[in-house]
Amino acid sequence: MLAAAIEAEVFIFIERHGSLKTDEGKAAVVRNGYLPERSIQTGLGDIEVKVPKVRDRCGSAIKFNSSLVPLT
């Protein structure tokens, strides 16, 4: 369930930046795999999560940070 929420969060983030294009007319903000899997602590115990990576191809310093998974 957490994985689906993180995927939805990334989808919304990329959609929000969908109007940004590179000089070649391609999407400037794109998915780029996943960060290494890591363990986070929840009230129900530790769970393993994989957070998607987002790449900014135009160099405008756009960075995705999940509001659901704390930064390491």
Percent of the chain with pLDDT over 70: 99
Domain range for 18: 2-56
What pLDDT is attached to residue 61? 87
Query: So what's the pLDDT on residue 59?
Result: 84
Cα–Cα distance, 15 to 18 (Å, whole number): 5
Task: For residues 53-61, give the mean pLDDT.
Answer: 90
Q: Please tell me the total count of domains within the chain.
A: 1
| Cα-based distances in Å from 42 to 12, 66, 69 | 24, 16, 10
- Best CA proximity match to 66, nearest among 50, 42, 44: 50
Task: Say what the pTM is.
Answer: 0.84
Flag whether 64 is in a domain: no
Query: pLDDT category, 70, cuts 50, 70, 90?
Result: confident
